[in-house]
Amino acid sequence: MRPIFFFITALLCAAACTPRVQLQTKDPLKVDINMRVDVYQHVVEEADSIEDQIYGDSPTQLNWLFGIQNVYAQDSGVQIEDAIAVRKELAPKVKRFFEAGYVGENRNGYIELIDMNIAPEKKEEIQQVIEKENKARRQIYRVTAAKNNLEVSQVERIFFRDHYKRAASGDWFERYDKTKGKHVWEKK
């Protein structure tokens, strides 16, 4: 019993006498971390889902295999569904106007009249379509931004990128020209 007592006493003394080491520096330690975070990935997917419903093309999605449709838009309720319906109805006209070079998409994701040499009656028809289309887009952008706790301008840029990616060659877009240092209209 006595050897165990000495062993425990020696162990406790050794533990109590352990020196304490403090490491301090004059300047704070700096750690460089290189990482990429795709914060907006779910919003990009939502934009794709909404635009697929309007234009009917989703070549890379396999949702139909599992019976999943309109996944992201359903989360947003009636407001987005109504705006999608309006845009779906206007899509053939908007496409014709893009093809004719009458309209282009500005950097905020809205369409604008860019050909000012149009007959007044045609110009009025185009303006009415632009107003309806942009009102529906604005509604989609606002609801998407609110749902994802983002600024509307962030959502506009995401949708702009999606529209640009889907656009036909020859469609007009307002893009930033680094050489000129400003936004300019250019064909895709």
- Render pLDDT for 56-108 as a digit per residue (tens, 0 to 9): 765 444 344 334 344 444 455 778 899 999 999 999 999 999 999 999 999 99
Burial annotation 14-42 (CB, 10 A radius, 16+ → b, else e): eeeeeeeeeeeeeeeeeeeeeeeeeebee
pTM for the predicted model, two decimal places: 0.69
Q: Which residues of 80-96 are buried (b: 16+ CB within 10 A; e: fewer)?
A: beebbebbeebeebbee
pLDDT of residue 39: 56
Tokens at 122, concatenated: 């045609």
C-alpha to C-alpha distances, 72 to 48, 65, 85, 157, nearest whole angstrom: 9, 17, 15, 18
Position 128: which residue type? Q
- Compute the half-sphere exposure of residue 138: CA atoms within 13 Å on the CB side of its CA: 7
Residue range 3-41, pLDDT digits in tens = 776 667 766 666 666 666 666 777 776 777 765 555 567
Dihedrals phi, psi of 113, to nearest 5 degrees: -75, 125
3-state secondary structure of 157: helix
pLDDT at 19: 64
Q: How confident is the model at residue 53 (pLDDT cuts 50, 70, 90)?
A: confident
Q: One-letter amino acid identity for 148?
A: N
pLDDT tens figures, 155-167: 999 999 999 999 9
Residue 156, H or E segment: helix 152-166
* pLDDT score recorded for residue 83: 93
The domain spans of the chain are 39-187
Burial of 56 (0-12, 13-18, 19+ CB in 10 A): exposed
DSSP conformation class of 118: S
Strand ranges in the chain using DSSP code E only, listed in sequence order: 103-105, 111-113, 172-177, 182-187
Tens digits of residue pLDDT in 134-152: 999 999 999 999 988 899 9
